[in-house]
Amino acid sequence: MPRHLPPLMLLCLATQLAAQENWVFIDNGHVRLGVNLAAGACVGWFSRSGSDKNLLNSYDEGRYLQQSYYGDKDGSDWNGKPWRFNPVQGGSWKGLKAILLEQKTEKQSIHTETRPRHWATGAEISEMTMEQRISLDGDLALLRFKMGYTGAKEHKPTHQELPALFVQPEYDTLVFCEAGKPAWQGASLTKKQPGFPNESVKFSEPWCAWVNGDGQGVGLYFPHTTEATCYRFRGGGKSDCSYIAPIQTF
């Protein structure tokens, strides 16, 4: 755990769940994690054990803690916006669900494999599979993602979300250690409330956390990169959220 942080549940990533969704949960007495099998087995629930207050925001198929990749522009259209090749683990923006190929749940672990859908068109991406392995360890949820691609087209390098994390809007303050001197050498933590649209942040330590006014919240540990994109959306409804995604270009 990074020093100087308030007690946090960490993802190493309060509404009633709809009856038509197909949730599977694992709980180790510290934290509770749920995946929606009806939406590509995406992670859409993370809370303290026994709590009905979900820290994550899963407003639509794009809001889960999940894999989502970007390729070249392909003439597709997302709600009036020119879009690109964009396989999403949860499904499409119009609510078409991804296809669950395999699922195995044990007491404190979940393994799934999913065929994603194109976010804009809703088409099945037959040349791609998305695998995830999830386990719990104390207050940690350990997520391992793997993408397999057998397509013939080689897409140009672009920013990839690894992964996208959406939390409830009351977790409005992003806490992290900015690029430069790390916290373990005595540097102060940075606390900010990003605006909309996206802002870029760079880190000297590979973690961040969204916290509320009491300093409680959820953290994300990402040893694979030192930068992220983030925003807070405030429209006054259920779609309000706080977002961050560690990014790499490939």
The CA-atom distances, in angstroms, between 221 and each of 52, 105, 149, 210, 225 are: 24, 24, 26, 12, 10
* Residue of 57, 69, 130, 60 whose CA lies nearest to 96: 60
Whether 98 shows a pLDDT value over 50: the answer reads yes
Q: What's the predicted TM-score (pTM) here? A: 0.87
Mean pLDDT of 67-79: 95
Mean pLDDT (the chain) is 89
Condensed to tens digits (0 to 9), the pLDDT of residues 1-56 reads 344 444 455 555 433 444 358 999 999 999 999 999 999 999 999 999 989 999 99
* Mean of pLDDT values over 147-157: 95
pLDDT score for 10 = 54
**pLDDT in the model for residue 184:** 76
Number of residues written out for the chain: 250
What local confidence, expressed as pLDDT, does residue 13 receive? 43
